[in-house]
Structure 1
């Protein structure tokens, strides 16, 4: 039984990590992609924006499909699209073609993010869900440490196309593991309505909850600062500071390690403090780090090491903000928890996509656009949080104790 449980958790962790791996692994290849496709790095970053748009839209698509047709059929369809699009990226001959293929790759791959959460609820006891989700979060947190480093070595040794070959191979292996080792956890439900009116009604119920809106958008804007860093850092570190693909992979690893470490510290802090106490303080520090980055880049204060340090601090604040904001956003829901989760993921990725587009639009051969968008996202999150929190206090809405218990385990 323990071996079976481990295998299932491993497969679910791999499904959850498809998105982060697909985002982070090809970042070191940005300069080579720009050179081969006769464009610049700012245009290549639009492939990242297309990926975020695909993930955002896809999560809303797969939620109803997984409830109606069971877990594995939509999972096979989505993963097949992901694998084909991954191999298709190898043959891209223009930046427009690569953007479109990355969008299709995201539409397919995001099924892993949605399905893994649903399967956890199906296969494991409710009392275990918090522990299981924390383990999956750890896998997702570790993946940005491994992926860019591996991508840097692949790009340097075999070219950027090899990264997409590896991603396609990983997707194929995951499908095989799902087919042979992961059971179908939910029977199809013929009575489940896929009419737009019924689906939109469920989403509308979620959106009318003020606590959801406050923490979903505040958390999404802090995450958008992270995505701005992901979109802008290849240009900043490899072109402005002149580091190699391999060194960039290690820089990304160091910064991501700050995020993972902060997530684990957050679990300990939650033993004495509530999520509502932690979030505004973490976002305030994130605003400070963002402003220092923006001002320092504009005034040429920062060198390579100081830039890495401030980026690390900025992302570490995200380690305190993201898990707390996500859990508090979903806390008011029981029956519509699935819809709330899908809508939360959609908002996070949509705002993230916008931030990556802004980094590209304001590109000016300096590090200022990245620092400016990071600072703007953090400041916007703080404004949303302060405004929404005051409204929630007036309503005296309690935070569910089960959410606090869940966060303490993360």
Structure 2
């Protein structure tokens, strides 16, 4: 299946909403939970470092789980694994809500991530099952709109839940979210895996499937392009509270609306990308966005190092850097999944795991280099944008001719 294939009918709004909700599993599970972290520490009698282990466990589960669900879905189908993942998510959320100790909560968050990642990885595969490269890029842009609501609304809702029913109520709400998605998938989401995908998966070992994808330089190029681009977002998110409050001097209330405003950069760029895709090929947008992203990264590094323009110029350039993520992420995902559509589940798993792994590395590196200024974050973002472009224009460049 190539980019020249006949475009298939567009999905209904209900299908898009459901796929967007599945994609947002991870984001909702993180952002709704953030306001409850101090209360968790007080309730379970542990310090903030111990509570952070629950977040680390979730990221590890998200990364590992995707590598399992992806190839399995090529063999067993997308729908049964989505239902299984939602059931695991509900059970783990209830375990978290009832956790008597931090150790139980860490274990619960890990298992919760194993359920959550089913929606993230399989929603991407479902899009590629049904749509060609250009339409996939357009739909991923729409899904980003749904996904982007989480960092804007979830922290506020989480704070309200903590004040009303305590931190355990957050996990009760997440369990209800899981039940709702289970019912929606069961009632309204048909199987999308093709017969050709099923036949190939039955005759190919999982390890061989992964090896086949990694041997393809185009896919490897897109994989690295997306992973390094993801590192730019993770580097910002992991530094956001320290950057906006401690370094730039905004108060807690200002942090909330600034965080939301910067989230709009990612959401808005995804929607501009969707409109551009009506007139411009996805690969052309990706190449331009990647080149512009490198320039923005260099400017961000210069502003952070020199302090020129003060905090508002830094935020303006940071907004532009985050906007580049929206263009690069959606088109890279569509391109990577188009390299070998019959292995869409495996490819989706590698895309997700690579992004989380590189994002975790960027977050740890930002922490190790922390010096109380925006410079380490800017240096990581500039480096990641540059490496992303090198992967695109190097390994993945032949895709420009397709």
Q: TM-score range by the shorter chain?
A: 0.7 to 0.9
Q: State TM-score, norm by structure 1.
A: 0.78
Alignment of structure 1 residues 227-238 onto 2, 5 Å:
227-237=234-244
Q: Which moved more, 1:97-106 or 1:268-277?
A: 268-277
Question: Hey, what's the Cα distance between the residues in 1 that align with 2:315 and 2:156?
Answer: 16
- Alpha-carbon shift at residue 316 of structure 1 (Å): 1.8
Question: Hey, what's the Cα distance between the residues in 1 that align with 2:396 and 2:187?
Answer: 48
Decide whether aligned partners of structure 1 residues 200 and 373 sit closer, same or farther in structure 2, where only a CA change above 3 A counts: farther
Question: Hey, what's the Cα distance between the residues in 2 that align with 1:125 and 1:332?
Answer: 11
Q: Which of 10, 17, 24 in structure 2 is aligned with 1:10?
A: 17
- Alpha-carbon shift at residue 372 of structure 1 (Å): 1.6
What's 1:408 paired with? none
Decide whether aligned partners of structure 1 residues 174 and 157 sit closer, same or farther in structure 2, where only a CA change above 3 A counts: same
- Alpha-carbon shift at residue 381 of structure 1 (Å): 3.9
- Alpha-carbon shift at residue 54 of structure 1 (Å): 1.5
Question: Hey, what's the Cα distance between the residues in 2 that align with 1:218 and 1:187?
Answer: 27
- Alpha-carbon shift at residue 191 of structure 1 (Å): 6.4
What's 2:292 paired with? 281
Report the 3-state secondary structure (helix = DSSP H, G, I; strand = E; otherwise coil) of the residue aligned with 2:153.
helix
Question: Hey, what's the Cα distance between the residues in 1 that align with 2:81 and 2:233?
Answer: 30
Question: Hey, what's the Cα distance between the residues in 1 that align with 2:327 and 2:138?
Answer: 18
- Alpha-carbon shift at residue 252 of structure 1 (Å): 2.3
CA RMSD of aligned residues (A): 3.8
1:149/1:250 contact within 8 Å kept: no
Q: Which of 40, 63, 69 in structure 2 is aligned with 1:62?
A: 69
Question: Hey, what's the Cα distance between the residues in 1 that align with 2:237 and 2:87?
Answer: 26
What's 1:116 paired with? 123
2:32/2:157 contact within 8 Å kept: yes
Decide whether aligned partners of structure 1 residues 282 and 131 sit closer, same or farther in structure 2, where only a CA change above 3 A counts: closer
The yes-or-no answer on 1:76 pairing with 2:87 is no
- Alpha-carbon shift at residue 99 of structure 1 (Å): 3.3
Question: Hey, what's the Cα distance between the residues in 2 that align with 1:295 and 1:89?
Answer: 46
Question: Hey, what's the Cα distance between the residues in 1 that align with 2:88 and 2:109?
Answer: 11
What's 2:142 paired with? 135
2:290/2:324 contact within 8 Å kept: no
The yes-or-no answer on 1:325 pairing with 2:325 is no
Instruction: Render the CA deviation track for 1:72-99: whole Å, top value 9, x for unaligned.
Output: 3222221122112223223445555433
- Alpha-carbon shift at residue 374 of structure 1 (Å): 5.2
Question: Hey, what's the Cα distance between the residues in 1 that align with 2:200 and 2:328?
Answer: 35
What's 1:166 paired with? 173
Alignment of structure 1 residues 248-397 onto 2, 5 Å:
248-267=255-274, 271=279, 273-290=284-301, 292-293=303-304, 308-309=315-316, 311-360=318-367, 362=368, 367-368=372-373, 372-373=376-377, 375-383=379-387, 385-386=389-390, 389-390=393-394, 397=398
Q: Which moved more, 1:104-113 or 1:118-127?
A: 118-127
Decide whether aligned partners of structure 1 residues 385 and 95 sit closer, same or farther in structure 2, where only a CA change above 3 A counts: farther
Q: Which moved more, 1:34-43 or 1:140-149?
A: 34-43
- Alpha-carbon shift at residue 288 of structure 1 (Å): 3.0
Decide whether aligned partners of structure 1 residues 32 and 255 sit closer, same or farther in structure 2, where only a CA change above 3 A counts: farther
1:224/1:355 contact within 8 Å kept: yes
Question: Hey, what's the Cα distance between the residues in 1 that align with 2:93 and 2:306?
Answer: 39
Question: Hey, what's the Cα distance between the residues in 2 that align with 1:126 and 1:311?
Answer: 29
Report the 3-state secondary structure (helix = DSSP H, G, I; strand = E; otherwise coil) of the residue aligned with 2:55.
helix
Decide whether aligned partners of structure 1 residues 25 and 228 sit closer, same or farther in structure 2, where only a CA change above 3 A counts: farther
- Alpha-carbon shift at residue 115 of structure 1 (Å): 2.5
Q: Which of 211, 221, 230 in structure 2 is aligned with 1:214?
A: 221
The yes-or-no answer on 1:399 pairing with 2:395 is no
